Structure 1
Amino acid sequence: MTPDDRHLHTPESDRYEIGQVVLRYCRGVDRLDLDLVRSAYHPDGIDHHTGFDGTVEDYLSWVSGALRQFSGTMHLVGNQLIELNGARAVCETYGQAVHWGEPADDPRRNFTSGFRYVDHMTFAGGRWAITERWAVREWTRSDAGRFVAKEGAGPQGRRDDQDCLYAVRRRILG
């Protein structure tokens, strides 16, 4: 272990921090906040996705284009098992990702997929982050023609820094 890897965290705090990495990644993807997605990885991180295999910087370029074909996405995470080994960890996260876009009857623009993130995480540079990720697609279901309009006026999600989340964060967190 290097001096950088010697930290005073408990297994519980390490698990919490690792879980936060996954949640930041999901928020970043859904809000198209690529800096937030980048923050989930170490600079030399590797990603393996359906249709992509490469470095984190190449992944960001690829996923940015892939996500812009949708009007929105929503990643929901569920079961998560984190196994620690000093400054290294294996994190398996189950989830579902909903995708929607135009035309509404296009199954390639409107689907839900079940996935698992299998992450090799490491603590380096004072933080836990993804060293290598395997985004395992378990299943995909077409949602074409199933989305309906909102039932009334109200907050509308956005995929930029004008989303209400960012306004609330600026007001509360500074």
Structure 2
Amino acid sequence: MDVQRDECSDRREIHEVVLTYARGIDRLDFDLVRSVYHPDAVDHHTGFEGGVDEYLAWVEPLLRRRARDGGGTMHMLGNHLVELHGDIAISETYGTSVHWGEPADDRRMNFTSGVRFIDRMERRHGRWAIAERWAAREWTRSDAGRMMPKEAAGPSGGSGADDPLIRLQRSVRGEGVTA
């Protein structure tokens, strides 16, 4: 029974690593992104291959520039399978990555991709994290010219202090900001 409970816990922790990456990337919280990798991790993305420090140095300015111009990203994660091999695991996560930005008719700024995150996860010192990641792009569709403004006032996402998540977190943690 304990082995089954540990396996379930490992799977849940590995899934949290994948979800945390998506939150960090989409909210531009690069400390959070860094936290899902082991320090010596390697990342393979379209247009990039290298260590985690180099990956963050590459991706952060791209995403900050996109956000500064009113754009962003949203990663929606779906199917998630894990093969456990002791303190090593293979994690495969299917997802959709939406990217938008200015100019609105630029295909390289406005696109949606089908992606699989294929991760070698390792448990080191009791913590699961990415040791190596392949962000395998399965397909890409241009969304140029397809974005439209919101139809009415209401909450909007972002990467700063006004994001509803950040406001809620600060409120719950007693940091003086109301949700």
Does TM, normalized by the shorter one, top 0.5? Answer: yes
Verify: 1:84 aligned to 2:84, yes or no: yes
For the Cα contact (< 8 Å) 1:69–1:109, is it kept in 2?
A: no
Match of 1:39 among 35, 39, 49: 35
Q: TM-score, normalised by structure 2?
A: 0.90
The offset of 1:59, in angstroms, is: 0.3
SS for the counterpart of 2:105 is coil
Correspondences of 1:17-166 after superposition (within 5 Å)? 17-70=13-66, 71-166=71-166
**Which AA in structure 2 matches 1:76?**
M
Q: Deviations over 1:112-131 (max 9, x none)?
A: 00000000000113210000
Name the residue aligned to 2:169: 169
* Off by >6 Å, runs of 4+ in structure 1: none
Cα distance in structure 2, aligned partners of 1:49 and 1:152: 36
For the Cα contact (< 8 Å) 1:104–1:110, is it kept in 2?
A: yes
The offset of 1:9, in angstroms, is: 6.3
Q: CA RMSD in A?
A: 1.6
Name the residue aligned to 2:177: none
Identity %: 60
Q: TM-score, normalised by structure 1?
A: 0.92
**Which AA in structure 2 matches 1:37?**
V
Q: How many residues matched? A: 168
Cα distance in structure 2, aligned partners of 1:55 and 1:165: 29
For structure 1, the 5+ residue unaligned runs are 1-7
Q: Deviations over 1:14-49 (max 9, x none)?
A: 000000000000000001100000011011111010
Cα distance in structure 2, aligned partners of 1:18 and 1:75: 17
**Which AA in structure 2 matches 1:114?**
G
